[in-house]
Amino acid sequence: MAQMTVTPWEVRGAIDYDRLIEIFGVKPLTDDLVKLTEKIAGENHLFLRRRVFYAHRDYDVFLKRYTEGGAVALYTGRGPSSRVHLGHLVPWIFTKWLQERLGLELYFQLTDDEKFLYHREYSLEHTNSMAYENLLDLIALGFDPSKTHVIVDSDDIALLYKIAVRVAKKITASVVKSVFGFTDSTNIGMYFFPSLQIAMCFLPSELRREVVLVLIPAAIDQDPYWRVARDIATSLGYPKPAQIHSKFLPGLGPEGKMSSSKPETAIYTTDPPEQVYRKIMNAFTSGQPTAAMQRKLGGNPDRCPVFAYYAMLFEEDDKKLEERYHRCRNGELLCGECKRELAERVAKFIEEHQRRRGKAKDIVESFLLRTKIRSRR
């Protein structure tokens, strides 16, 4: 089994989520916090009850401030290296639910600069155009334009720069070397970049001219940024940002997260539905090599990406999910059938998403923070 690596740019190996809680120094999401969220939101979310979101920092503080009527907001983002895949939708779907249920403003950052600086092969024109492509996926999920404020780093730097230089002055090269693993051959753009992802935590406070506590829903790979952000926040007069961390939607291969760096194991939102179907039918499963052996020995849903897709996104009903689990374990359910059902559900989801994505083009402007600021002047 490959050794586990989890950084903002690379996730490899079998992921031990409990161990990540220890390594990153975050807290597990407790039953009490899940119940409190349900009470506030007025409904339950499968991401919480199944612990797809499973760890946090100061989520309790965030909820308390929210219930007391204090200023709070949501912040999340995307590094637009290429097309959006299903994994990226996990934090966004949850963010949208929080926006809707709690009536919150969302600040969304597209870091085209980060992906240009990190990937040798990408031009800035490429990552910048991907930013606007990726934005269509965000819009397709149904975020409220009046409450969703998007910035594209290379086009909107004026909005962030004054905060970013103050942030940058607080962070030494030795900190980013140890937190992000940068070396002497890492370009200096990357050394500065974390100050932009961190600055965005404080932008709501600047724009609203009050102390705004942000909650960041994201997968746990982004945690290194928040560790640094929290270390310097108070010295700059801002509250420490809170986080709620998700697990990764796995790729269609034997291990690792769904990742753009492994396109054959990723389902992109813009894949034709037939291709989605084919990719899932070719997916790795935890089943036995033959149907006869599967009937005799059963499969291992705990280590199966196909089962994970049902558990994380494509089976709402807890009872049905449990039945699927047991039918797999005891050899009643064969992998072909399980994959076929999933392929149908995912292809349908993708088709619907593409329909909404097509319409999103007409309303992009209404999500851009720069457009809103200009029209207020």
Burial of 321 (0-12, 13-18, 19+ CB in 10 A): middle
If the CB atoms of residues 4 and 327 are measured against ligand TYM, the closer one turns out to be 4
Indicate whether 79 belongs to the interface with ligand TYM (CB under 6 A): yes
Indicate whether 149 belongs to the interface with ligand TYM (CB under 6 A): no
d(CA 306, CA 318): 16
Mask: binding to ligand TYM, 191-210, rule CB under 6 A, as x and -? ------x--x----------
Residue 1, token pair as written in the block: 């089994």
Helix (H) or strand (E) holding 28: strand 27-28
d(CA 228, CA 230): 5
Taking the complex as a whole, the smallest distance from the CB of residue 70 to ligand TYM amounts, in Å, to 21
Taking the complex as a whole, the smallest distance from the CB of residue 321 to ligand TYM amounts, in Å, to 19
Indicate whether 218 belongs to the interface with ligand TYM (CB under 6 A): yes
Indicate whether 91 belongs to the interface with ligand TYM (CB under 6 A): yes
Stretch of 30-38, 162-170, 244-252, 288-296 lying at the interface with ligand TYM (CB under 6 A):
244-252
Taking the complex as a whole, the smallest distance from the CB of residue 324 to ligand TYM amounts, in Å, to 21
Question: Measured on CA atoms in the order 47, 53, 59, 62, is the torsion positive or negative?
Answer: negative
- The owner of tokens 């946090």 is 56
Indicate whether 214 belongs to the interface with ligand TYM (CB under 6 A): no
Q: What share of the chain is helix, strand, coil (3-state, %, to 5)?
A: 60, 10, 30
DSSP string, 178-233: HHH---TTS-HHHHHHHHHHHHHHHHHHHHHTS--EEEEEEEGGGHHHHHHHHHHH
> Which residue in 219, 244, 252, 311 binds ligand TYM (CB under 6 A)?
219
Stretch of 72-80, 162-170, 292-300, 347-355 lying at the interface with ligand TYM (CB under 6 A):
72-80
Mask: binding to ligand TYM, 252-291, rule CB under 6 A, as x and -? -----xx---------------------------------
d(CA 317, CA 314): 9
The single-letter DSSP state of residue 324 is H
If the CB atoms of residues 266 and 333 are measured against ligand TYM, the closer one turns out to be 266
Indicate whether 58 belongs to the interface with ligand TYM (CB under 6 A): no
If the CB atoms of residues 66 and 92 are measured against ligand TYM, the closer one turns out to be 92
What are the distances in angstroms from CA 198 to CA 119, 124, 167, 230, 265?
Answer: 20, 21, 7, 9, 31
> Which residue in 114, 137, 223, 315 binds ligand TYM (CB under 6 A)?
114
The single-letter DSSP state of residue 265 is G
Indicate whether 249 belongs to the interface with ligand TYM (CB under 6 A): yes
Q: Which residues bind ligand TYM (CB under 6 A)?
A: 8, 75-79, 87-88, 90-91, 109, 111, 114, 197, 200, 216, 218-219, 221-222, 246, 248-249, 257-258
